């Protein structure tokens, strides 16, 4: 079934910048889609509109049958930013607990789910560590655990590994593929790396700048072994 539908979406900032123009797209449940394009082509803006972090200027977006950002339970969308954006004063556990805390769960109630999410990214043993004690790759995995702790159906990732070295990045790419396969997720992965988009996704949405728009929508059957 269709999970995300964008119909003729525009986003303007002020009078001069058209960050996204006429974007129409349907994404089915379970797809791994990448948004590929140069800096400034509107990839982040599109992702933020899908998550509801930004409103559309015109057009419409529906996610899981609700207008973007207005689902009954906002936790059905997980978002991973370019920087790990962890709270430096809080432990790994507390960083991952945050979304559940916002839902009103006590630390105790949330415990098993936080541990499960940390397990998923291989960091169960680092629950009591602070972000400064972790490598860049580990911090990024904590931020993926935080996005996954609410068990979202949709995971949005905005150039999540851009700041990491290539080896770490490659390892994390494989981690994300494992997560996608094991959790039955829909993933939208924003990147300006052709390699990353082709390696990871089963469909590449190519965007161009000024104005930001979709120029190709390329299915990649058989790119990566998929079951």
Write b or e for each residue in 14-42: b if 16 or more Cβ atoms lie within 10 A of its Cβ, otherwise e. Answer: eeeebbbbbbebebeebbbbbbbbeebbb
Residues pairing with 6 in the sheet: 25, 61
- Shortest gap between Cβ of 51 and ligand ADP (angstroms)? 13
Q: Output 153 or 161, the one with its CB closest to ligand ADP.
A: 161
| Residue whose C-alpha is closest to residue 177's, from 162, 167, 168, 187 | 187
Residues with Cβ within 8 Å of 167's Cβ and at least 6 positions away in sequence, in order, are none
Q: Which residues bind ligand ADP (CB under 6 A)?
A: 13, 17, 19, 37, 39-45, 122-123, 125, 135-138, 164, 168, 212
Cα-based angle 117, 110, 72 (whole degrees, multiple of 5): 85
For ligand ADP, the closer of residues 138 and 145 by Cβ is 138
CB of 43 vs ligand ADP, minimal distance in Å: 4
To ligand ADP, the closest distance from the beta carbon of 45 in angstroms equals: 3
Distance of closest approach, residue 168 Cβ to ligand ADP, in angstroms: 4
Determine which helix (DSSP H) or strand (DSSP E) holds 8, and give its type and residue range: strand 2-13
Q: Which is nearer to ligand ADP, 29 or 175 (CB)?
A: 175
Instruction: Select 44 or 64, whichever has its Cβ closest to ligand ADP.
Output: 44
Q: Which is nearer to ligand ADP, 28 or 210 (CB)?
A: 210
- Using CB positions, name the residue nearest to ligand ADP: 137
User: Least distance (Å) from ligand ADP to the CB of residue 97?
Assistant: 19
């Amino acid at each position: 079934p269709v999970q995300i539908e964008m119909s003729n979406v525009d986003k303007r900032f002020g009078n001069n910048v058209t960050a996204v123009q006429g974007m129409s797209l349907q994404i089915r449940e379970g797809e791994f889609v990448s948004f590929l394009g140069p800096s400034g082509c509107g990839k982040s803006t599109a992702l933020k509109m899908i998550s509801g972090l930004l409103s559309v200027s015109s057009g419409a977006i529906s996610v899981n049958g609700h207008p973007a950002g207005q689902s009954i339970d906002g936790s059905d969308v997980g978002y991973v930013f370019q920087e790990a954006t962890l709270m430096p004063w809080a432990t790994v556990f507390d960083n991952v607990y945050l979304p559940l805390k916002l839902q009103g769960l006590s630390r105790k109630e949330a415990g098993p789910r936080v541990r499960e999410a940390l397990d998923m990214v291989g960091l169960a043993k680092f629950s009591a560590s602070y972000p400064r004690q972790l490598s860049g790759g580990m911090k990024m995995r904590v931020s993926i655990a935080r996005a996954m702790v609410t068990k979202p159906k949709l995971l949005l990732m905005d150039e999540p590994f851009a700041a990491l070295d290539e080896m770490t990045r490659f390892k994390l790419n494989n981690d994300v593929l494992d997560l996608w396969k094991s959790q039955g997720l829909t993933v939208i992965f924003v990147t300006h790396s052709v390699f990353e988009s082709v390696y990871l996704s089963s469909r590449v949405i190519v965007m161009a700048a000024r104005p930001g728009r979709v120029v190709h929508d390329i299915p990649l059957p058989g790119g990566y072994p998929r079951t």
